[in-house]
Structure 1
C-alpha cells in the first residue's frame, strides 16, 4: 500500500480481470435466461413458467446446469473428435474476447484499444468458425446443413452490421469505444447538452440495421434457420450432449449479452449519463457504471427476445434477400448521409 492506495502485481491484476470478464459474461447470460426465457415468454403465453426451484423459480437455471453436467458426454463414432470437442469452447471463447474491449466505467475496461470497434467486429465473427466446425465434425447431415446455413447467414449479416457501425465511427471521429462513449456523453443536440448526444437519435437507421443484424448473428427467430427444429432437429448442435451442449446454450445467451453491451456502447452512451448531469471521472462511476450499463443491456436484450418470441421464421431466400437487397443498400445510404452532414456541420 502506497499513499493509501493498494498497488497490485501484474498477476493479481490479471486474475481480477479474468474474474471480471467471467462475471460480465455469466451474470447477464443467467439474468437473460431467467427474465426472458423463463418468465417473459411465459407471461406472453399466459403461463407461469418455472415456479418450484427457489422463489418464483429463480433457482431453475442452476437446476438445469446441474442436470446437463450429470449427463453423459457422447461423441458420435464417425465424428472428428478433436474438432467436435473444441467447437463449443471456440464459440464461448469468442464472447469472452468481445467483452475485453467494452468499457463499463472510467477505469472499468479490460483492454482500452485504439481500434476497439475494429477488434470487436473482427473477433465476433470467429463464432461462425465454431458453428461451422460443430456442424461439419458431427458426421450428421442435419448438423452439416445447419452449420452451412449458419455460416452463410453470419457472412450475409456481418456486412450490414459493419456498415451500420461505420456511421457511428464517422460521427464520433474515433474507433476507440471509450472515445465513442465520451463523445455521446459530452455531445449536444441543437446546442442543448442536457441529454448529451446518444447516437440512437442521430444514427437511428444504423441502430435498426445493427439490431436486425444482431438478431441474425445470434440465430434468433425470425433468423433461426440454422437450428430450425421442424427441419433440422437442432441443427449444428444435434449431436451434442452434456457439458458441450450446455456451453452452446450459455454461448447463445452470453452472445446476446455481448452484442447488447456493444449496441449500448455505440448507440446509448454505454456506462455514462450525460456529462451535464455530473462529473463522469468520479470514482463512483466505477461502481455505478456497470449498473447503468447492465440496465441498458437489459433493455436491448428485452427487445431481442421480444422479437424472438413474436415473429415467425423467414425462408432461407427471404433471409438472404433482406440482407443483400435491403439492409446493405440502406446502410450505404446512411454512411453517405452521415459523411455529408459531418462535413457540413
Structure 2
C-alpha cells in the first residue's frame, strides 16, 4: 500500500467520501506524496513518454510554428514565450535551438518563461538549461505571474492531468461521482448527493443509467485566463493533448504506471492519473474571449509543418539504422493508429493572425 493510499483511506474514513477531482489533485500534486512532486515520470525509466521525448523533430516543428506565429503577429517586442508544464524541459530546449537557427534575435528579445508547479521538476529543468545554450528562462508557478504584453504560449499534455469532476446518471438523476470506502475498507466509487446543471450536459445525446459525464472547470478556467491575455495583449497559443472533438458520455479516468495501464485505486501517488480532454469545451472558451480557434489532429499538424521533410533531411546522410529509427518516430508521432489521431492540436489567436499548420476547414 502506498503512503498516500493509507492517508486517503484515513481521510475518507474520518470525513466521508471525496470527489474524483479531489482524489486526482491529491494523487498528482500532494506536496508530500503526490505523483508529480515526488518522482521523475518521463522517459523510458518513468511511466510514460511524451512526444518531445520520442523525437527531436516534434520540438523542432513546434518551434517553427511558434516563430511563425510571432512573425504573423507582427514581431511584437517585448513579448513572452512561455511553456506550461514543461516536464524535463526537452520541448522548450528543442524549440529554442531551432528558433535560434532561424533568427538569433528571437532569444535576445524574448522573455522566456517556464510555468511549473513542481519544485522537483523545476530543479531538473534548471539543471538542463544550465548547459542547453544561451537562453536563460525565468520560472513561474502560475500564469497570473507572467509579465504583461504579448504572449506566445505552448502546452503539451497539460490539460489531461488537470483534475476533473465526474457525474454518474443514476435512477435518482445525475449525481457527482465520489471516491469512498467499500465494506472491506478499500477505495471505491460511489454516487454522492451533489448534482449538475442539466444545461451543462451534451445536447442531442441520450445517457443510459450508469453513464459518466466529465466536467473540467479547472481546464476551462486556465483556458479563459490564457485566452483573455492573448485577446487583450496579442500573441497566440498552441495546446497539444489527447482527447475528443465532441462532448459525450464516457469514463476516461485512467492510471499509467511503468508504461502500462494500472487500476486507478491501486497505487495513489505512484501512478499518473489522466482523463481525455474535451476540446470542444476549450474551443468554446477561446471563442467567448474573442479568439479564433483552429483544431486538427497531431498527425495532420506535424505533416503540414514538414515532419516528412525534416525526417528526410535528418536521414539523408545517415545510415540505415538511423533512417529506420526516424521512420519509427514519424509513425509514432503522426500515424493514425498511434498518436497521430488520438492527440489533437488546438491553436488560438486573434482573428487577424494567420497561423501555420492548419487549413481553412480546421
RCO higher in structure (CA 8 A, sep ≥6): 1
Structure having the larger proportion of residues in strand: 2
Structure having the larger proportion of residues in helix: 1
